[in-house]
Structures are given as structure tokens and as C-alpha cells.
A and B are shown apart, each in its own frame.
Chain A
Amino acid sequence: MTAATRFRAVAVGCSAGGLEALRQLLAPLPREFPLPVVVVAHMAPDGGSLLAELLESVCRLSVAEAEEKAKALPGHVYVAPPGYHLLVEEDETFSLSVDEKVCNVRPSIDVLFQSAADTWGCGLIGVVLTGANSDGTAGLRAIRQMGGYCLVQDPTQAFADTMPRSAIDAGLADCVLPLAALAGQLMALAPPQPRRGGR
């Protein structure tokens, strides 16, 4: 397996300051970006539906709330609905749950990352951005264990440094970059051609 064909999906987690961070991460990605991007952002339970709309207005990729049973497709950004954990099933479809909060939050980044790691294994890129709790660290550990790639925002420049610092302190970051450089890194890691379905 070459590096160029290894990656099959991106999973992103953020909390405090996350909207601006997501904008900077996702807006530069080209329309033909060949991987699905799945996002958990901690938001107020009633304000979260706006996130997909806000991102859609600044992204070339199409952005929507993840719907249960829908398949994760290349070139699409999927955002966890407010109040629901977002999980990825073996067949690359989404499922939702209202099980108890993890790290005091629902949706939880750990829940997404752990299930996505089960599905995409070494083909998963996990990205931890700004945030004020340590959600995401256990998720990156799962991604690391499955051979995936862990990308972390430089905490010294993050709006809130707890989340990226927690991931780095746990020794889980393959790469630490300032926010402005993260999109470029995703494009460098992604396979060169749009994937045409199947594996």
C-alpha cells in the first residue's frame, strides 16, 4: 500500500473556538477532495443545526448534517447533529445514538473516532483542533492503535489549548501544525485522484 492510496477518510473533532477553526480547515479543500470528512463539534444543544449551514456557505465541499444510514461519500463534509453521538458502521454508513454523554458531551469526538477507527483502520486521518476539554484523546489513541494518522492543531496558537495539548501530551500526534497549515497537510495526505466508489 502506497502512502498515496492509504487514506480513505478524515475525522475531525473540535470544541471551544471550533467554528472558526473548521472554517480555516475546510474552506481551502477543493471540490474534488477525494475523502469523506466527518466532523464532531461541541455546540450548544439548540444551536448546532446552524453549523452545517455556516460551513456550507464557506466551503467548496458540500456540507450537511450526517443522517443515520447514509453512506460517507468522498468530497462531502458530514457534521454530527446536535445532541446525538455520531458513529461510523462497518459499511461506511452513519449511525446515531443518544447513549450517555462521553467526556461530558454528546456528540463526543471519542465516540466518532473510535467507531471510525474500527471502520477505516489505517486509512483514517484523525484531526484534533481547538477545545477546552480532553475529548478526542481516547479517540486518537484508537486511531493510532489501528495504524491511522493523527493530526493535531498547534496548541500554542489554538483558541483553547486543552484539547490539542491533551492529545500531544498523550504522545498521540503524528504531526502538529498551526491551523493555517492543516488543510495543506490533508491535501498532501489525500490520494491524488478522486476515488470512484468501492475500495
Chain B
Amino acid sequence: MTDAEIEDIEIRLFFEAMALRHGYDFRNYARASMKRRVLALAQSQGCRELSALIPRLLHDQDFLAQALAHLSVPVTEMFRDPQVFLALRRDVLPVLDSFPRISVWQPGCATGEEPYSLAILLKEEGLLHKAQIYATDINDVALAKAEEGIYPARHLAAFSQNYQQAGGKAALANYFHTAYNFSKIDDEIRERIVFAHHNLVADGVFCEVNLVLCRNVLIYFDRSLQNRVLSLFHDCLVRGGYLCLGNRESLQFTDFADRFRVIDRGNRIFKKREAVQ
């Protein structure tokens, strides 16, 4: 047996142990990216062999949070892909304005940059006062950072450029309080977001929403898990609710291709079809 084949066994055993011991099931994640993440985790722990992670996973209670932090790598920024936020501002928010209350679910919120971006968008369109954003993730380390809403001040420059391209109506700095080298999001923005732990693989629908914003999460899942997650989104959306996916994600070839109407192909914005039955 080759080293690569042995390593493949180690990865399978690691995910088996994670699922059995802690209930986090990564077995339906796309394997190639997960392999890179497990290798990075092993390296961060100084483990020469992947299998050395398994005893820690089984017996070291403190290890779980670290492992999850490595396995759900939060790479995000504010107003990433600004044209998507521009499209939401231009085409989706005016429709949502007709509802007395607006609820949004943002699964895979990582360290919070995207829900804060959306909240700023809602604020500028005069909708924040009646909006509630549920931002969820499985990574508690990232969630804690998200809830703080504190970012290195130097990141704001890059975020600002995105914000302007997303049709920003003021200056992004207006929504932050900057002291020393850090910028903290304004309370008015933060209070509209509930950050909570939710696992798309195992947990169910917990709210009814007008918009699901879930970008670059489905790409990490295999087809069966994509379908499970899309069924959650379909179930939690009100009639005519919107779904916004990542720029290279699609409903084509999923079980849900017919259940949504394409609103904006380039920006991957979909609308839940009215039930016909």
C-alpha cells in the first residue's frame, strides 16, 4: 500500500472519529479541500501523521474547538463581490420593503463580515429598523469574533473599496468606531444580528425568512449534502423569498432547480417559486 493510500485511510478515520465522538459529520464534504484542511490542522499541531489527531479528538475536550476552527476556514471580507451587494440593494431590498418585517438567514457567516455588510445595506435602504439577521456557523471561534465585530483598522481600506463599488451611500468608516489599530462595528448595526451556532449538516430549520444569503458554502459539500441544505433553505423561505448563492454556485443538477426562479444569473440570485399543488 502506498503512503497516499494510507493517508487516505487516516483521513477517513479522522472524520469517522469526529462524527462519532462529537456529532460533526464532515463525511459529505467535498474531499479534496477537506484533505488540505486536515493536513493544515495536523501541521498546526505538530503531528507528523494524521492519525495522531485521532486520540486528541477522542480524549482532549479542548481540542474540538481548535479542530473545527481549522476545518471550517473563515476566509471572508466585507462586501466581497460588490456587484452582488449592488444587485441586492437594487433588485431585492426594494421588494423586501413591502413586508412589515424582514428576516434574513446567513449560514456560514464565519467572522461576521458578510452579515455586517448586509446590515449596512439594509440601513442605507431604510430597512434596518424592521430587519432581523440570523447569522450562523459551526465554528464557535469565528462566531465569537463575529459577535465582537472588531476588525483590524487596516482591513477597512480594502473593505471601503468594495463598499463603494456596492453602491455605498456614505463612508464605511461611519459604521465603525476606530481606536488604536482596531475598528468596532456600530451597535446600531450589531444589534440587528443574532449570531448562533447552527450546523447545516445536522440541524433543522429554526426560523422563517425572506432572504437566505449563503455564498461559497455549498461548494464545499457533495451533491447529497447540497440537496439537504437546499431543502432547509427552501423550507425556511417564505413564498417568494430570495436565495443568494456564491458566484460559482448553481441550482442546476440539484433537486431544487425547478423550485426556484432565476432572478439574476450572474449574481446567483433566485426566488422561491409559489407552490402550485
A residues at B contact (CB < 8 Å):
65, 67-69, 81, 83-85, 87-90, 95-100, 111, 114-115, 118, 121, 145-146
Q: Is the CB of B35 within 8 A of A118?
A: yes
Nearest chain A CB to B26 CB, angstrom units: 14
- Which one of A95, A121, A145 lies within 8 Å of B30 (CB-CB)? A95
Q: Is the CB of A87 within 8 A of B4?
A: no
A-contact bits for B238-268, CB 8 A (1 contact / 0 none): 0000000011111001000000000000000
Whether, in the assembled complex, B45 has its beta carbon less than 8 Å from a beta carbon of chain A, the answer is: no
Whether, in the assembled complex, B36 has its beta carbon less than 8 Å from a beta carbon of chain A, the answer is: yes
Q: Is the CB of B33 within 8 A of A100?
A: no
Q: Is the CB of B219 within 8 A of A96?
A: yes
Q: Is the CB of A99 within 8 A of B37?
A: yes
Query: In the assembled complex, which residues on chain B have CB atoms less than 8 Å from the CB atom of A96?
Result: 219, 248
Q: Is the CB of A95 within 8 A of B248?
A: no
Q: Is the CB of B4 within 8 A of A68?
A: no
Expressed in whole angstroms, the Cα–Cα distance for A88 and B32 within the complex equals: 7
Q: Is the CB of A95 within 8 A of B33?
A: yes
Q: Is the CB of A89 within 8 A of B31?
A: yes
Q: Is the CB of A89 within 8 A of B32?
A: yes
Expressed in whole angstroms, the Cα–Cα distance for A97 and B248 within the complex equals: 10
Q: Is the CB of B31 within 8 A of A90?
A: yes
Expressed in whole angstroms, the Cα–Cα distance for A23 and B32 within the complex equals: 29
- Which one of B32, B250, B253 lies within 8 Å of A95 (CB-CB)? B32
Assuming the contacts A68-B248, A87-B33, asked whether A99 and B73 have C-beta atoms less than 8 A apart, the reply is yes
Q: Is the CB of B248 within 8 A of A69?
A: no
Which A-chain residue is minimally distant from B223 (CB atoms)? A69
Q: Is the CB of B32 within 8 A of A87?
A: yes
Nearest chain A CB to B253 CB, angstrom units: 7
Within 8 A of A (CB), among B13-48: 30-33, 35-37
24 A-B pairs with C-beta separation under 8 A: A67-B248, A67-B250, A68-B30, A68-B248, A68-B249, A69-B223, A81-B248, A83-B247, A84-B248, A85-B33, A87-B33, A89-B30, A89-B31, A90-B31, A95-B220, A98-B216, A98-B219, A99-B75, A100-B75, A114-B36, A115-B32, A118-B32, A118-B35, A145-B4
Expressed in whole angstroms, the Cα–Cα distance for A67 and B249 within the complex equals: 8
Query: In the assembled complex, which residues on chain B have CB atoms less than 8 Å from the CB atom of A89?
Result: 30-32
Query: In the assembled complex, which residues on chain A have CB atoms less than 8 Å from the CB atom of B247?
Result: 81, 83
- Which one of B31, B36, B249 lies within 8 Å of A111 (CB-CB)? B36
